[in-house]
């Protein structure tokens, strides 16, 4: 066991840090949460800067146009971006972490050439059309149908919880190409152009009041057969490839951000005589431990070449921990947490060195999605019990 | 950066597992339940011979010259096997090479314990001074009120045995007085001792948490109710998943704390060690309790050894002082 980085990794870190120090001050002001056009421009603008500097798709293989870095360098990359408070991956999430890597692994040469470069350049934004009203945790129960008509599929049905749908150019879409009773064996993975006729988008309002995700309705939408990734009815296997990327380092940025947030909360608490030191220290020990676990998972991925199942252990622990940090923030600011907007006030204001009340409210409210999105905690427990511990399926 | 065990560390773990299976099988250690001499001198010397105590002592001082990371690997295995005895104190004593009392600690011919000098309670009443394995000890490390260490021989100590110790494999005595002893080392020595205690006690606890998890999982695969294994019921499955998460998180924390102790420029050892000890102790307790639940009525029997893990976890957790103080140490350095 070794916590030191190689000279090459340190070199990578130093160069990236210098580039970030130079680049971040040149970024435009961050847009409001509700300003989707502005958010798209901001997130893709930063992606373009990364691309021009050679940092787009750090962990993508070279043949996909990425940098081909090791999992350890990818970790250093995420760590440095977070420490420098660089913009989050934002609307580029599905393209960079889901659809892109899936097309690299499973796509045809034509698909790779057509779809990968614009993701890396920040030209194209993707969304994920997996979940349906009647197929959430039981994703394989999905019913959106795709029927062959010459060189096209004709798609009918609906999707739900599609994040960033309003600003997306493409959708990674799971459809049923076999009879309903085929379940896992009748699914295909398609690339759908979001400008195709027959797609209706209805934004959904989240508990944070924002429109982070939407419902999609499909009325005879034509998707070329050439846009299928993998074989017909082999989409479930392709999906498992997609989801394995998500368990890699997708949550590391938020882990590091949580550590910084806890540090600020400790300062707020100290200013008040440290009444919550036990609780803060406990959460701190847990965050440190999950950072340790992350580095062990990355070590394993570096050896085996694939993100391991340890990601499920991490996701389960971190999503619940994130909620408890959210609760701590709310408890510390007391009645300062009763407004969505920034308040001027003593203990909870930025002048005390801590985050503002609005940021803490936002952290707390959004933490509730962490145990639901990307596989609920109950489903993660099933996965850990069945795939790691080998307990029988119920 | 690599947090997987090296091949050497895997081999080391294998050596310890073999000793545990041979000399410290559950059947064998349980024969000593409730006796004052749970530590068998031959077995202790065998641990010494395998390097359990001399692992982190420098080679030119007669040790193996490995690091805390290797010691953590070894102690996780000892914890998994519920090996009894003052393992942590004896290991750390072997590193205090300038004390003549500890000459044999490294090879396991001297058994060394540790105790923290208790403070008066608020009402002025004396807090009882409880020592583990006193009848087996040759010498003792005392952590003083100022945090500094002293050592003393256990030959002339006056003590009353506790008739029914919570953990039948950790005999206890109450000391009626505690002499001053001879000072050993400086403030840095004392700080390293505390860190070492946190890391190695944490490693024992992490191993125990993994063991009670495995016991529950094995039982859940075997035991049938309603015509199917209880492990197919989600309520049981989720208990097991949570046990694995606690054990894995604790082990990662302990390993990183140990590597940080070996490579101090990579992090804050005090914070890492205190946090790891805290999470590992809690995991050992919580997993033992959960494992009892998964075993049903069998879990409440003396026969099934899960309760021994619970009681040992309590002994080890108490040796760390109040867990809240560990949390506050982390908070102060966050
Ligand atoms: C913020 C956010 C963003 C999202 N973005 C996207 C996106 O971009 N694209 C996309 O396709 N999806 C997205 N999702 C959807 C997400 O993947 C689903 O919400 C999730 O898989 C759960 O499905 P569900 O909502 O239908 O809940 P259900 O499956 O109906 O679950 C309801 C409850 O029942 C429990 N439950 C269900 N089955 C079991 C079981 N077998 N055992 C035990 N408990 C069970 C669940 O744990 C949960 O508590 C997003 C969700 C959120 C919250």
Neighbours of B188 (CB within 10 A): 8
When comparing pLDDT for A343 and B192, which is higher?
Answer: B192
The answer, for B263 touching chain A at a CB cutoff of 8 Å, is yes
Domain B188-332 has CATH 3.30.559.10: no
The answer, for A309 touching chain B at a CB cutoff of 8 Å, is no
Subunit contact B1:A285, Cβ cutoff 8 A: no
- Domains, chain A, with CATH or none: 7-88 (no CATH), 128-233 (2.40.110.10), 251-388 (1.20.140.10)
Mean pLDDT for the stretch of residues B231-257:
98
The answer, for A1 touching chain B at a CB cutoff of 8 Å, is yes
Q: Give, for A312, the enclosing helix (H) or strand (E).
A: helix A310-333
Do A381 and A316 form a contact (C-beta atoms < 8 A)? yes
* Nearest chain A CA: its distance from B72 CA (Å): 11
What angle is formed at CA A80 by the lines to CA A77 and CA A81, rounded to 5 degrees? 85
Name the residue facing B1 among A4, A300, A393 (closest C-beta).
Answer: A4
Q: Residues A26, A32, A33, A39: is their CA dihedral positive or negative?
A: negative
* Nearest chain A CA: its distance from B324 CA (Å): 6
- Residue B37: pLDDT band (50, 70, 90) is very high
DSSP string, B272-330: HHHHHHHHHHHHHHHHHHHHHHHTGGGGGSSSSTHHHHHHHHHHHHHHT--HHHHHHHH
Which ipTM did the prediction report?
Answer: 0.96
- Residue B44: pLDDT band (50, 70, 90) is very high
Subunit contact A292:B256, Cβ cutoff 8 A: yes
Distance from Cα A363 to the centre of ligand 1, integer Å: 20
Verify whether ligand 1 is closer than 6 Å to residue A131 (CB atom): yes
What angle is formed at CA A132 by the lines to CA A128 and CA A137, rounded to 5 degrees? 90
Residuewise pLDDT in 10s, chain A (394 residues): 999 999 999 999 999 999 999 999 999 999 998 899 999 999 999 999 999 999 999 989 998 999 999 999 999 999 999 999 999 999 999 999 999 999 999 999 999 999 999 999 999 999 999 999 999 999 999 999 999 999 999 999 999 999 999 999 999 999 999 988 889 999 999 999 999 999 999 999 999 998 999 999 999 999 999 999 999 999 999 998 878 776 667 789 999 999 999 999 999 898 889 999 999 999 999 999 999 999 999 999 999 887 778 899 999 999 999 999 999 999 998 888 999 988 876 555 554 556 888 999 999 999 999 999 999 999 999 999 999 999 999 8
Verify whether ligand 1 is closer than 6 Å to residue A378 (CB atom): yes
Verify whether ligand 1 is closer than 6 Å to residue A372 (CB atom): yes
When comparing pLDDT for A243 and B150, which is higher?
Answer: B150
List residues bridging with A202 in a β-sheet.
A215
Q: Mean pLDDT over all residues of chain B?
A: 95
Name the residue facing A313 among B221, B248, B267 (closest C-beta).
Answer: B248
Q: Identify the closest residue of chain A to B245 by CA–CA distance.
A: A313
* Nearest chain A CA: its distance from B332 CA (Å): 8
Poorest-confidence range of A278-282, B55-59, B98-102, B224-228? B98-102
Name the residue facing B252 among A9, A293, A391 (closest C-beta).
Answer: A293
Subunit contact B256:A382, Cβ cutoff 8 A: no
At B311-324, the pLDDT tens digits run 999 999 999 999 99
Subunit contact A285:B327, Cβ cutoff 8 A: yes
Q: What is the CA radius of gyration of chain A?
A: 22
- The values of phi and psi at residue A133, to 5°, are -55, -40
> What is the pLDDT, as a whole number, of residue B101?
86
Spatial CB neighbours of B27, under 8 Å, sequence gap ≥ 6: none
DSSP string, A48-113: HHHHHTT-TTTTS-GGGTS----HHHHHHHHHHHHHTTPPP-GGGHIIIIIIHHHHHHH--HHHHH
Spatial CB neighbours of A36, under 8 Å, sequence gap ≥ 6: A166, A167, A211
Q: Is A300 an active-site residue?
A: no
Q: Which of A93, A132, A133, A136 to mutate to test the pocket of ligand 1 (most atoms within 8 A of CB)?
A: A136
Atom of ligand 1 nearest to the CA of A206: 1
> What is the pLDDT, as a whole number, of residue B122?
66
Domain boundaries, chain B: 188-332
Name the residue facing A292 among B253, B331, B332 (closest C-beta).
Answer: B253
Mean pLDDT for the stretch of residues B214-232:
98
> What is the pLDDT, as a whole number, of residue A279?
98
The one catalytic residue in A73, A132, A246, A286 is A246
**Window 53-92 of B, Cβ < 8 Å to A:** 69
């Amino acid at each position: 066991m070794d916590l030191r980085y190689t000279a090459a990794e340190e070199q990578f870190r130093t160069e990236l840090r210098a580039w970030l120090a130079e680049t971040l001050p040149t970024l435009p002001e961050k847009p409001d949460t509700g300003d989707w056009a502005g958010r798209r421009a901001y997130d893709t603008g930063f992606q373009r800067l990364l691309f021009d500097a050679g940092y787009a798709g750090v962990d993508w293989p070279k043949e996909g146009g990425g940098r081909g870095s090791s999992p350890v360098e990818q970790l250093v990359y995420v760590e440095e971006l977070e420490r420098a408070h660089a913009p989050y991956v934002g609307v580029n999430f599905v393209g960079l972490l889901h659809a892109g890597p899936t097309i690299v692994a499973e796509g045809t040469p034509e698909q790779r050439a057509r779809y990968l470069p614009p993701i890396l350049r920040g030209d194209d934004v993707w969304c994920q059309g997996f979940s349906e009203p009647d197929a959430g945790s039981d994703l394989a129960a999905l019913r959106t149908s795709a029927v062959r008509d010459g060189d096209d599929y004709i798609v009918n049905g609906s999707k739900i919880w599609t994040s960033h749908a309003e600003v997306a150019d493409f959708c990674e879409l799971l459809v049923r190409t076999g009879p309903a009773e085929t379940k896992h064996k009748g699914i295909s993975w398609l690339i759908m152009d979001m400008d195709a006729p027959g797609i209706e988008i209805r934004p959904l309002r989240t508990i944070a009041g924002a429109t982070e995700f939407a419902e999609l309705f499909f009325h005879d939408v034509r998707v070329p057969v050439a846009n299928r990734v993998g074989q017909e009815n082999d989409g479930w296997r392709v999906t498992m490839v997609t989801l394995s990327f998500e368990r890699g380092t997708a949550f590391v940025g938020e882990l590091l951000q949580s550590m910084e947030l806890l540090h600020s909360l400790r300062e707020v608490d100290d200013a008040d005589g440290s009444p919550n030191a036990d609780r803060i220290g406990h959460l701190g020990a847990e965050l440190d431990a999950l950072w340790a676990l992350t580095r062990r998972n990355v070590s394993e991925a570096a050896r085996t070449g694939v993100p391991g199942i340890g990601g499920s252990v991490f996701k389960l622990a971190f999503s619940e921990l994130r909620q408890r940090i959210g609760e701590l923030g709310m408890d510390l600011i007391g009645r300062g947490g009763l407004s969505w907007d920034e308040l001027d006030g003593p203990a909870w204001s930025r002048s005390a060195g801590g985050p503002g009340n609005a940021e803490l409210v936002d952290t707390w409210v959004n933490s509730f999605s962490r145990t639901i999105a990307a596989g609920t905690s109950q489903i993660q427990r099933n996965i850990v019990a069945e795939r790691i511990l080998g307990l029988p399926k119920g | 950066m690599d947090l997987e065990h090296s091949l050497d560390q895997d081999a080391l773990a294998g050596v310890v597992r073999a000793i545990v299976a041979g000399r410290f099988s559950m059947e064998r250690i349980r024969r000593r339940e409730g006796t004052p001499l749970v530590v068998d001198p031959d077995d202790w010397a065998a641990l010494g011979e395998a390097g359990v105590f001399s692992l982190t002592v420098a080679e030119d001082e007669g040790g193996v010259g490995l690091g805390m990371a290797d010691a953590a690997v070894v102690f996780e295995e000892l914890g998994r096997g519920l090996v009894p005895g003052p393992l942590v104190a004896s290991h750390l004593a072997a590193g205090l090479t300038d004390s003549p009392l500890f000459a044999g600690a490294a090879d396991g011919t001297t058994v060394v314990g540790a105790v923290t000098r208790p403070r008066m309670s608020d009402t002025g009443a004396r807090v009882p001074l409880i020592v583990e394995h006193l009848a087996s000890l040759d010498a003792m490390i005392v952590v003083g009120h100022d945090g500094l260490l002293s050592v003393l021989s256990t030959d002339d100590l006056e003590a009353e045995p506790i008739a029914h110790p919570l953990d039948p494999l950790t005999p206890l005595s109450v000391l009626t007085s505690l002499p001053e002893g001879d000072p050993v080392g400086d403030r840095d020595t004392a700080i390293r001792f505390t860190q070492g205690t946190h890391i190695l006690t944490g490693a024992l606890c992490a191993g125990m948490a993994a063991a009670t998890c495995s016991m529950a999982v094995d039982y859940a695969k075997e035991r049938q109710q309603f015509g199917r294994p209880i492990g197919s019921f989600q309520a049981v499955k989720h208990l097991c998943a949570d046990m694995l998460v606690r054990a894995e998180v604790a082990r990662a924390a302990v390993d990183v704390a140990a590597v940080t102790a070996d490579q101090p420029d990579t992090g804050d050892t005090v914070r890492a060690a205190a946090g790891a000890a805290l999470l590992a102790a809690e995991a050992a307790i919580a997993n033992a309790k959960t494992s009892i639940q998964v075993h049903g009525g069998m879990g409440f029997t003396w026969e099934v050894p899960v309760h021994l893990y619970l009681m040992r976890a309590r002994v080890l957790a108490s040796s760390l002082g109040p867990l809240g103080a560990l949390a506050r140490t982390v908070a102060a350095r966050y």
